[in-house]
């Protein structure tokens, strides 16, 4: 069962409660470069990003938020470290949320100044701690970075802001250690009802970081914990959003978009199934159908796996699509799909309801499938 958290409004997006889990990413442009930052945010929005975070290391970056906000359509979070004045300026320039670690902002009077500004503009504060920001006394108390240390650090800072009369808060406790991250979230769920932002910090490259994030974030979400997520990768931020979408869809927490399922290939395959599967995945990325495309390579697994193709949820389409790797058995394997393609030895078939309706060169299969999907009635 999903953890019951209070609702928090971040610009046009509401998180917490029973609202959908929101995907967050972060730009890697210089925020001062408004044109480049806006361009990247728009790319991330198209990919499925719900909330965007930008670094605010300078006063110029804080002031740039005003112009950036005019040109984007999703909420913007200002990421602040050390200088409390940057947080204040970011809020005044339209940030929908700020991310701070009160422990590195300064003394209580500076934290109070940030809180007062956020209160005046009804801007939420995300209290963020991670394994690299733990205080010395907690490291000594717990003998290093532990889940309990992360939770205590976060809640200590939350209590500071609560004592200042502000509870418009989101919490994040991130570790680069997957197990520490999982256990920290299991621990904090019993201690707060604030919305939680979930991620595995400094997880690594697109490949390694994607896998670690899938294990960590996926485990946490499966336990009903989490209201926003970020897959933190050393790479193109668009890959963060793509990975986050896959995690949510794999857990049944998000619908929409074509999901490609493919077999691992074997000696029975008669075509370049690996290349075909990758091309199909790329091709269907922009088609707004909630369907599953099965890319099958042989008669052994094809029939059973093709039967599980479920199509359409929010669209007026009851559609199954199959992509088969064997021209001989393809029609039979695709019988339970509404539409499919099969290829082998340079020849391609377009199949509807198990019946061959068109034969073509194998090189034309993708274009034929795209045309059918785009014009499906």
Reported as a pLDDT band with limits 50, 70 and 90, residue 134 is: confident
Range of lowest pLDDT (26-35, 128-137, 326-335, 341-350) = 326-335
Give the DSSP H/E element, type plus range, for residue 152: helix 147-163
Domains of the chain, each with CATH number or no CATH = 8-250 (3.20.20.20), 259-374 (3.30.413.10)
Instruction: Supply the pTM of this predicted model.
Output: 0.78
Q: For residue 92, what pLDDT is reported? A: 96
Higher-pLDDT residue of 41 and 277 is 41
Mean predicted lDDT score pLDDT of the chain = 82
pLDDT digit string, tens, across residues 329-342? 444 444 445 666 66
State the pLDDT at residue 322: 53
Q: Is 238 exposed, middle or buried (0-12, 13-18, 19+ CB in 10 A)?
A: middle
Q: What is the pLDDT of residue 131?
A: 79
pLDDT exceeds 50 at position 114? yes
Determine the Cα–Cα distance for residues 99 and 138; give it in Å rounded to an integer. 22
pLDDT in tens, 197-224: 999 987 778 888 889 999 999 999 999 9
């Amino acid at each position: 069962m999903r953890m019951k958290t209070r609702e928090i409004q971040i610009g046009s997006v509401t998180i917490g409660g029973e609202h959908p889990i929101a995907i967050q990413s972060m730009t890697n442009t210089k925020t001062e470069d408004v044109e480049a930052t806006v361009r990247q945010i728009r790319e991330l929005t198209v990919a499925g990003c719900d909330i965007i975070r930008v670094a605010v290391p300078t006063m110029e970056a804080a002031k740039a938020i005003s112009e950036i906000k005019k040109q984007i359509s999703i909420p913007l979070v200002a990421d602040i470290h050390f200088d409390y004045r940057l947080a204040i300026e970011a809020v005044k320039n339209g940030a929908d949320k700020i991310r701070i670690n009160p422990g590195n902002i300064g003394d209580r009077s500076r934290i109070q100044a940030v809180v007062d500004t956020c209160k005046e503009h009804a801007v939420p504060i995300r209290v963020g701690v991670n394994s690299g920001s733990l205080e010395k006394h907690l490291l000594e108390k717990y003998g290093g970075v532990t889940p309990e240390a992360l939770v205590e650090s976060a809640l200590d800072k939350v209590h500071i802001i609560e004592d200042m009369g502000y509870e418009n808060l989101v919490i994040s406790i991130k570790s680069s250690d997957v197990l520490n991250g999982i256990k920290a979230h299991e621990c904090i769920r019993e201690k707060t009802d604030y919305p939680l932002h979930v991620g595995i910090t400094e997880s690594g490259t697109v490949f390694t970081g994607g896998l670690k994030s899938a294990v960590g974030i996926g485990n946490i979400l499966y336990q009903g914990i989490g209201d926003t997520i970020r897959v933190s990768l050393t790479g193109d931020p668009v890959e963060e959003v793509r990975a986050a979408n896959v995690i949510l869809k794999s857990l049944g927490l998000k619908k929409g978009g074509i999901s490609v399922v493919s077999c691992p290939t074997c000696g029975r395959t008669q075509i370049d199934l690996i290349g075909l599967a990758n091309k199909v995945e790329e091709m269907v990325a922009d088609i707004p159908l909630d369907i599953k495309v099965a890319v099958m390579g042989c008669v052994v697994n094809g029939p059973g796996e093709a039967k599980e193709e479920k199509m359409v949820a929010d669209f007026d389409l009851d559609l199954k699509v199959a992509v088969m790797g064997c021209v001989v058995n393809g029609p039979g394997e695709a019988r339970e799909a509404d539409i499919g393609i099969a290829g082998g030895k340079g020849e391609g078939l377009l199949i509807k309801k198990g019946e061959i309706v068109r034969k073509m060169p194998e090189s034309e299969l993708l274009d034929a499938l795209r045309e059918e999907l785009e014009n499906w009635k």
